[in-house]
């Protein structure tokens, strides 16, 4: 952005990243929502790989602008926030500033998503999740609502991606690879995909396990996969299901003792 337009404002970075992500979601969502269930998932992953290949191509031919090895990543210049230049800050100071920026954005985005989930549109999406055929027979435009949900997810992905790039100062193609998409799905399932707070708990748990296992062994991917599978088998409803079911299990044990 700085190389081509000469701006370092984080507001411009964020808006451009969100706009591109949302626009791609509009196009890809329209294509994918024409299909349902398994075909929807396969087509979504295929389209993400197309984007991944395109990004690798762009990095290969434009990375020399940033003075890094082509084909790996692009360095992101430190932005200005509300006119304050962050380039003179040390690494720790810059990370602290970005931490508070993300911390401020998180509850706002969470509140907006909560309002959407508890709206009539959110109720329609829940009905589609449980049984799309029954939802369609009750008058819900399934394909159109799935498309809207796809666009919404693209918007949130744009916000997250823009913040991640600014915080890490690197735009790496790894985060748009299909394997990273699978990691996000694992986070959702691990926490409990039928609840609002479940994916947040799943993301936190997965990140903690990832960090702990990575520092423990070089075979961290294998060990992390085993841990996730074991947790998934032990807690089919996710972590939030275990938390919600704990009082009921305690009451059952109390009754059995009597």
Predicted TM-score (pTM) of the model is: 0.82
Residues 52 and 7 in one domain: yes
Contacts by 209-213 with C-beta closer than 8 Å and gap 24+? none
Backbone phi, psi, residue 139, to 5°: 105, 5
Backbone phi, psi, residue 78, to 5°: -65, 135
User: Domain residues for 76?
Assistant: 1-175
Q: 38-62 vs 10-32: helix axis angle to the nearest 10?
A: 140
Residues 162 and 186 in one domain: no
Query: Residue 185: which of 199, 169, 171, 197 has the closest Cα?
Result: 199
Q: 38-62 vs 178-191: helix axis angle to the nearest 10?
A: 130
Residues 81 and 183 in one domain: no
- Which range, 120-129, 203-212, 223-232, 249-258, is most confident? 120-129
Query: Residue 83: which of 12, 29, 150 has the closest Cα?
Result: 12
pLDDT band at 255 (very low <50, low <70, confident <90, very high): low
Residues 205 and 166 in one domain: no
Task: State yes or no: pLDDT of 258 exceeds 60.
Answer: no
Report yes or no: 200 and 191 within 8 Å, Cβ to Cβ.
yes
C-alpha–C-alpha distance, residues 242 and 246, integer Å? 6
Residues 205 and 234 in one domain: yes
Coil, helix or strand at residue 218: coil
pLDDT band at 114 (very low <50, low <70, confident <90, very high): very high
Spatial neighbors of 210 by CB under 8 A, at least 6 apart, are 220, 224
Of 129, 152, 175, the domain-final residue = 175
Lowest-confidence region among 131-140, 218-227, 241-250? 241-250
pLDDT band at 56 (very low <50, low <70, confident <90, very high): confident
H/E element, 171: strand 170-171
Of 126, 147, 175, the domain-final residue = 175
Residues 138 and 232 in one domain: no
Encoding tokens for residue 190?
């691990």
Residues 123 and 56 in one domain: yes
Report yes or no: 104 and 163 within 8 Å, Cβ to Cβ.
no
Mean pLDDT of 108-130: 92
H/E element, 24: helix 10-32
Residues 158 and 184 in one domain: no
74-75 and 84-85: which strand pairing? unpaired
Residues 77 and 187 in one domain: no
Residues 233 and 127 in one domain: no
- Three-state SS string across 31-65, please? HHCCCCCHHHHHHHHHHHHHHHHHHHHHHHHHHHH
Mean pLDDT of 100-126: 93
More reliable by pLDDT, 23 or 3:
23
Encoding tokens for residue 116?
């959407």
pLDDT band at 72 (very low <50, low <70, confident <90, very high): low
Residues 196 and 237 in one domain: yes
Residues 23 and 99 in one domain: yes
- pLDDT tens-digit map of 234-246: 777 778 877 776 6
Mean pLDDT of the chain: 81
Note the maximum CA span of the chain: 75
More reliable by pLDDT, 65 or 189:
189
Domain count, the chain: 2
Of 175, 190, 217, the domain-final residue = 175
């Amino acid at each position: 952005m700085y190389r081509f337009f000469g701006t370092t404002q984080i507001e411009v970075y964020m808006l451009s990243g969100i706009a591109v992500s949302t626009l791609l979601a509009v196009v890809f969502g329209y294509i994918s929502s024409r299909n349902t269930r398994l075909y929807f998932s396969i087509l979504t992953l295929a389209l993400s790989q197309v984007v991944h290949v395109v990004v690798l191509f762009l990095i290969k031919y434009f990375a020399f602008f940033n003075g890094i090895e082509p084909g790996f990543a692009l360095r992101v210049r430190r932005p200005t926030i509300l006119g304050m230049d962050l380039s003179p800050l040390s690494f720790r100071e810059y990370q602290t500033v970005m931490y508070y920026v993300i911390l401020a954005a998180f509850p706002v985005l969470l509140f907006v998503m909560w309002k959407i989930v508890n709206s009539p549109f959110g109720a329609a999406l829940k009905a589609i999740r449980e049984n799309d055929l029954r939802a369609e027979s009750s008058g819900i435009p399934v394909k159109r609502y799935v498309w809207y949900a796809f666009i919404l997810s693209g918007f949130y992905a744009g916000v997250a991606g823009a913040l991640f790039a600014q915080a890490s100062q690197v735009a790496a193609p790894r985060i748009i690879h299909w394997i990273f998409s699978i990691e996000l799905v694992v986070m959702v399932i691990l926490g409990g995909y039928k609840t609002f707070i479940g994916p947040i708990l799943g993301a936190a748990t997965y990140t903690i396990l990832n960090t702990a296992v990575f520092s423990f062994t070089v075979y961290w991917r294998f060990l992390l996969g085993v841990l996730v599978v074991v947790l998934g088998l032990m807690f089919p409803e996710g972590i939030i299901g275990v938390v919600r079911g704990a009082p009921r299990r305690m009451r059952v044990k109390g009754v059995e003792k009597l």
